Amino acid sequence: MTTADNKLDNLKIKVQSLQNRTRLVARGDWLEPKRKEVEAIDRECEEKRKVSSSLQEEIEGLQRQAEENRRELELLKNQEALKDEWDRKVREAVEEVEELQDTKSRLEGEISELEDHKQEMVDQAESDKERIRQDITSLKASKKEVENQMVELEESIQRRTKELEMYEQKLQDIGRREQSAISKQTELEEREKSVMAKEADLQSREQWVLQKEGEQRAAKGKK
């Protein structure tokens, strides 16, 4: 795989990622988890308000009962045997009222914190919406840039492919020429061997002729 192929694959992966992110944002349900969390906070606040209201009613009832106990205590102040018991009930009622008041204050504080948290989530959701809108704009621009780069890269690949085909054709021509040259060289070598064989045969014949001439001259000298 060439560098151009790798670059093309990377660009295609990047375009696919951009398309997936664009489809995710375009669905419109990306804020659904935050909406559900805000709705849950609203329900929790409403439940705590109901509990607080119920506690307030109970506090008022206990206060009325404490007042009645005080009135009864006045009526029974001469009954020393019951005085201590009523004092204890009054103290218990007062302590229970104080405890319920503390619970009410705590619930009101929790409701306030939940309201603040809800507002923070709403603000964060608005901020996320704006950021995602900006991301979409940026992604569209990036996608366009990548598409342009892909077009340029494909054109470059086409040019390189044509150049490669031209070089391959030249290599084939060179290969054919080389094969032809090798064939001619082989033919020349065969001819050279044939000539050398003929020269060796000719030298052998010349030696034989010289030998015969020498023998003839020697025979004439003896006569």
Q: How many whole angstroms separate alpha carbon 130 and alpha carbon 132?
A: 5
Model pLDDT for residues 171-205, shown as the tens digit of each residue: 888 888 888 878 888 888 888 888 888 888 788 88
Q: Which domains does the chain have, with CATH numbers?
A: 3-180 (1.10.287)
Comparing C-alpha atoms, which of 115, 103, 102, 106 is closest to residue 44?
115
DSSP one-letter code for 78: T
Model pLDDT for residues 14-55, shown as the tens digit of each residue: 666 666 666 655 555 555 666 677 677 777 767 777 777 777
Model pLDDT for residues 110-168, shown as the tens digit of each residue: 878 888 888 888 888 788 788 888 888 888 888 888 888 888 888 888 888 888 889 88
Q: Which two tokens stand for residue 100?
A: 């319920």
Supply the pTM of this predicted model: 0.35
